[in-house]
Amino acid sequence: MIRRPQQNLVAASTAERMAVASASYEKEFAGVPLAAAYESLRLQSLRRKNSNTDAIHERALALACLAIQQEVGPVPYHVQRLAAAVMAMGNVAEMATGEGKTISVGLAAAMVAVRGGCVHVATANSYLARRDCELIGPALARLGLRTRLVETALSAKDKRHAYQADVTYGTADDFAFDFLRDVTAKRQRKLSALGKGRPLELLNRRRHFALIDEIDHILIDEAGTPLVLSNPGPPSAEENASQIFRQADAVAADLMESIDWVPGRSGFAIQWTAAGLQRVAQHAPKGIERSQLLRPWQEYVQHAVEARQRVVRDIDYVVVDGKIQIIDPATGRIQSDRQWQAGLHQAVEVKEGVAVSAELDATAQISRWRFFDLYQQLGGCSGTALDAKDELLDVYGLQTLNVPLRIPSRRQVLPTSLFHSQQEKYESIAIEIGQVIDSGRPVLLGTESIRQSEELAAFLRLVGYRLQVLNGIQDAEEADIVAAAGDPGAITIATDLAGRGTDIKISPAVEEAGGLHVIVVSPRKSPRLDRQLIGRAARQGQPGTARTFICLEDSLVQEAAPAVRDPGSLPAIVRRAARRADKRAVAARASMARRDMDHESFFHSSNAEASV
């Protein structure tokens, strides 16, 4: 696709003009009831659908800033207004971490809602959706706008009420799954009694404008996994299915890597060798009729091998109360309502010795690319959007504009530390922690998995440190741990839960001592994840430091260059591995988009990685 730098310049100029003009309009609205003034703008906007509405948007932004001031705190800064204008125009704003994206998204919602359509604010997780809705909702109410939160646990009646609001907050997945539920309801009505009966009540009929927070994460990082709506299979088949999976696991236990199978190129997949296929054929299931198999026998055994050799506990899933719960690889959050498809989930259950659940029957599916294409317009923001600007433009037609820092950054990224072994690395981390907390500063350590977070926590406790762990399986509330992470001398170990959207506040004493120190315990395949973690420190002109630790035993290094013995080559290896991983991910997303375009229906026609 041809790049459009000139359009970028035009969009940036227009957004700058809107941000500046909004400040001058605030005087015009001094002492005026905000709701009445905003409603007047909405009526003007409806009458001028085919004319230039920049002035209306500028005034709407001014009113929103006054509402934010009255409900949240100070008048929004120029950079927050600028980011809001960029998003409201249907673009992506790269806004550095800590610059107040939540406020900017709220301002953009007010600018868009003045046109009369509904606005969906899509966040990366339910914690952020609730937090942002509770913060921004009262300010939007001062403009006469109804703001609601849609959540998985809500009843159908409450969801319909939430979707009737002017601005609806929720996770991207909740919006998409509710769409699939409506699609399924339409289909069931069409197939039953020629559509006779009660009127069809859909959850949501409107998709005008989606404002996407952490847009690169939602539209790119998570785009490789389709969203699949599923229902439980027939209970009568559970006992036979359990026998099939257990027999497949017994066969898989005797199969050997490189002889019977080799790792696939991506994900958990394996590829059979000729010898492996022959061995599987020699061990057909006993006491099982062919009609009881939902797929070829070799696929049952394949998933059993993948479960044993490729799907790793406390990295890809956890076991909670005798149930397998998937860990979202992009966020580190535990997804208790998801299940791997095509029998892989049941194979993992057999491996762990827990009760084997019934397979889910997939009823409808959609990719994030196709779902968000249903909206009339998109906009969004992220602290790492420029790294993904080409894909955002090529796939979604979204231009990315950089929003400058309000105050020059005081963050110091310290030289990377390199080691031979994990033990050496942990020992060095322990020493660095001691030096930092002795000065009265807090430390945040970002790990690549729940397993690594628990291993590091155990090591540091043996050394004598008191710490908190934020990895989704802790007993304490996430908000409480985040609130304490900026205290003097605090040590917090976290997975990606402490990345996007997490605001660790520090006291004046901590700021004077040097601010938060962030340690990247191991590099990630996506450098944007490391950037997001480092962005927890030195926010809004505060001081702060960060350092990355790499060793030869890190999973990314072992995957990319297992034979390397010189730690000095690790930074180059990590950069090459990240580039290769990104290319594979881009290819996988493109392949999924092509398959999605070929489907005329949203109803399930192929297996997906995980479902709800």
DSSP assignment of 353-391 equals TPPPPPPEEEEEEE-HHHHHTTSSEEEEEESSGGGGHHH
Which residues, including other chains, have CB under 8 Å from residue 600's CB and lie 6 or more apart? none
Per-residue model confidence as pLDDT tens digits over 84-111: 999 999 999 998 877 889 999 999 999 9
This prediction has a pTM of: 0.81
Looking at residue 612, its pLDDT comes to 47
DSSP letter for 257, please.
B
End-to-end CA distance of the chain: 35
Residue type, 274: A
CATH topology (fold) of 410-551: Rossmann fold (3.40.50)
The domain made up of 5-228+368-403 has a fold known as: Rossmann fold (3.40.50)
Range with lowest mean pLDDT among 239-253, 473-487, 506-520? 473-487
**CATH class belonging to 234-358:** alpha beta
Select from 30, 27, 612 the least CA-distant residue to 339.
612
Q: Please give the pLDDT value at position 80.
A: 94
Taking the C-alpha atoms of residue 471 and residue 450, their distance in angstroms, rounded to an integer, is 6
Percent of the chain with pLDDT over 70: 88
Residues facing residue 377 across a β-bridge: 209
Number of residues that this document lists for the chain: 612
User: pLDDT at residue 1 above 60?
Assistant: no
Quote the strand ranges of 126-260, DSSP E: 147-149, 167-171, 209-213, 227-232
Cβ atoms < 10 Å from Cβ of 258: 9
Q: What is the mean pLDDT of residues 1-14?
A: 57
Q: In CATH terms, are 5-228+368-403 and 410-551 the same topology?
A: yes
Q: Say what the pLDDT of residue 281 is.
A: 87
Domain extent listing, the chain: 5-228+368-403, 234-358, 410-551
**Rg of the chain (C-alpha set):** 26
Say if CB 336 and CB 481 are below 8 A apart: no
pLDDT at 204 over 60: yes
**228-252 pLDDT tens trace:** 887 766 554 555 678 889 899 999 9
> Given a cut of 60, is residue 5 above it in pLDDT?
no
Mean pLDDT, the chain, whole residue set: 84
